[in-house]
Amino acid sequence: MPRDTLTGSRIRERRVMAGLKQAELAKRADISPSYLNLIEHNRRRIGGKLLVDIAHALGVEPASLTEGAETALLATLREAASGSDMAEAEFVRIEEFAGRFPGWAALLADSQRKVETLQRSVEALTDRLTHDPHLAASLHEMLSTVTAIRSAASILAEPGDIEPEWQRRFNRNIYEDSARLADTSRSLAQYLEEADSEASETNAPQDELDAVFQKYGFHLPALETPSASVEAAVDDLGQGLSQAARWLLVRVLRRYRSDAERMPLADCADTTALSGSDPFAFAARFGCDLASAMRRLAHLPDDLLPDPVGLAICDGSGVTTFRKPLAEFPLPRLGAGCALWPLYRALARPMMAHLEVMEQSARAAARHRGIAIAQPTAPARPGQDVLFESHMLIVPEPKRETSEDILQVGLTCRICPHADCAARREPSIMVASAPRRL
């Protein structure tokens, strides 16, 4: 069983914030200061009555000591470890590492993210030669010309006599071909320059879109007024984006605007004040479909909601087309998430709302309610198949005794500890460590 979580670090943080000395807190909790010191450095596991006592002495909820916002950090660290041949014994100490060296851990996580971005750039560049017909054709042209020049030049350079007529011919060929080469290379250089200035084509457009929302937030006041213009917002937010990312942005913002029109901000505030982050209440109040209600909730300012909510949208192939992750419910940046999420199950039974209380990683075990529905992407047309897309709203759920089943889910298989999972599509680097609380 792996060593403890970050509980110790949080106790230390709370104690310092409260201006208590270690000895003082130890006394109140009826333990020795040296034992408290071990706990605070995540060297001793803590739980049960002692945890409650310490929480009481600090005047905080016990749960606030055992839960933290480190899920995303830990997930990134696990990904970093998954790329290496890290020994199991080292790997299970990941939380201890994050707790004892938060600065170093953040640095490592940051590096890991940079590595991922670079890897994708390299892949995109490699791809480019195969998928960019202009580039492939230019290169082919250049290589053909170079071949002709090389052949002719080496005939002339070889020792031995060549008849004057042939000499003239090859000289002329080299001259012609070199002029052609100059033309092609100039146009290729120009093409590459244009492609570069058109924003980084090396980045996935979806990533660029994520970056926009990361920068401006998911609530966009510019789209909330009745006179709002999507074009103006795209011009404003989409500066420096590639064509592809801009296209995605236009699509997302058009929907945003149409949702906002049907559900004006002031009325939304009333509704959340009454029923919190409940998409069903929104759908009933505004007479709209559930997916629109979910999108509206995800784009509301955080202070209107009890807690910020997350949202994932995927198309019929399961590829994520929109993601608003939460600190404690990260969404994978590449590829699909956990097949157990109602997001994907909804695709199998469209038009039905799927509800599930989930704990994402068995470790930090923050609890979320996932509400998912798959709806047609466009109105039905005579005799034509409809395409479906699935929405999943992610609402933080207080941790309390409940008779509801709690679904243990993962983020992605590679870093998911659940053993014997029917939905597993890839072995985990974590299954070896004993499953907990399953």
Partner 1 sequence: MSKQVLLIEDEPNIIEAISFILSRDGWTVKTHSNGADAVDIVKQRKPDVVILDVMLPGKSGYDILRELRSDPDINGLPVLMLTARGQTKDREIAERAGCDAFMTKPFSNADVLETVRALASK
Closer CB to partner 1, residue 111 or residue 151? 151
Q: Is the dihedral of CA 56, 59, 62, 65 positive or negative?
A: negative
Q: Going by C-beta distance under 8 Å and a sequence separation of 6 or more, which residues neighbour residue 438? A: 362, 408, 418, 419
* Sign, CA torsion 361/366/369/371: negative
250 binds partner 1, rule: CB under 8 A: no
Nearest-5° angle of CA 385, CA 388, CA 393? Answer: 165
Stretch near partner 1 under the rule CB under 8 A, chosen from 74-82, 150-158, 258-266, 336-344? 150-158
- Distance (Å, whole) CA 97 – CA 102: 8
| Contact call for residue 148 and partner 1 (CB under 8 A) | yes
**DSSP element (H, E) containing 372:** strand 367-376
Spatial contact of 96 and 3, defined as CB atoms under 8 Å apart: yes
Is residue 128 a contact residue for partner 1 (CB under 8 A)? Answer: no
Considering only 115, 143, 189, 274, the residue that binds partner 1 (CB under 8 A) is 143
415 scored as a contact of partner 1 (CB under 8 A)? no
The interface region with partner 1, picked from 45-53, 136-144, 195-203, 328-336 by CB under 8 A, is 136-144
Nearest by Cα to 297 from 326, 328, 259, 242? 259
Site for partner 1 in 274-293 (CB under 8 A): none
Whole-angstrom distance, CA of residue 10 vs CA of residue 419: 29
CA 238 to CA 250: how far, in whole Å? 9
117-130: buried (b, 16+ CB within 10 Å) or exposed (e) per residue?
eeebeeeeeeeeee
Report 89-118 residues binding partner 1 (CB under 8 A).
none
Piece of 172-180, 218-226, 350-358, 415-423 that binds partner 1 (CB under 8 A): 172-180
- Should residue 177 be labelled a site residue for partner 1 when binding is judged by CB under 8 A? yes
CB of 134 to partner 1, least distance (A): 15
Give min distance, CB of 239 to partner 1, in A: 37
Q: How far is the CB of 3 from partner 1 (least distance, A)?
A: 47
Is residue 356 close enough to count as binding partner 1 by CB under 8 A?
Answer: no
Among 47, 119, 122, 166, binds partner 1 (CB under 8 A): 166
| 176 contributes a contact to partner 1 by CB under 8 A | yes
Element at 298 (helix H, strand E): helix 290-298
The nearer residue to partner 1, 178 or 229, going by C-beta atoms, is 178
CA distances for 311 relative to 6, 295, 324, angstroms: 27, 7, 5
Neighbours of 259 (CB within 10 A): 23
The structure tokens listed for 39 are: 């706990």
Residue 135 beta carbon to partner 1: minimum distance, rounded to whole angstroms: 11
The one-letter amino acid code at 194 reads E
According to the binding rule CB under 8 A, does residue 147 interact with partner 1? yes
Question: Nearer to partner 1 by C-beta: 70 or 177?
Answer: 177
Determine if 150 is a binding residue for partner 1 (CB under 8 A).
yes
Kindly state the smallest distance separating residue 143's Cβ from partner 1, in Å.
Answer: 4
Confirm or reject binding of residue 169 to partner 1 (CB under 8 A).
yes
Rounded to the nearest 5 degrees, what angle is found at the Cα of 51, between the Cα atoms of 45 and 56? 155
Span interacting with partner 1, options 133-141, 193-201, 287-295, 429-437, rule CB under 8 A: 133-141
Which residues contact partner 1 by CB under 8 A? 136, 139-140, 143-144, 146-152, 154-155, 166, 169-170, 173, 176-177
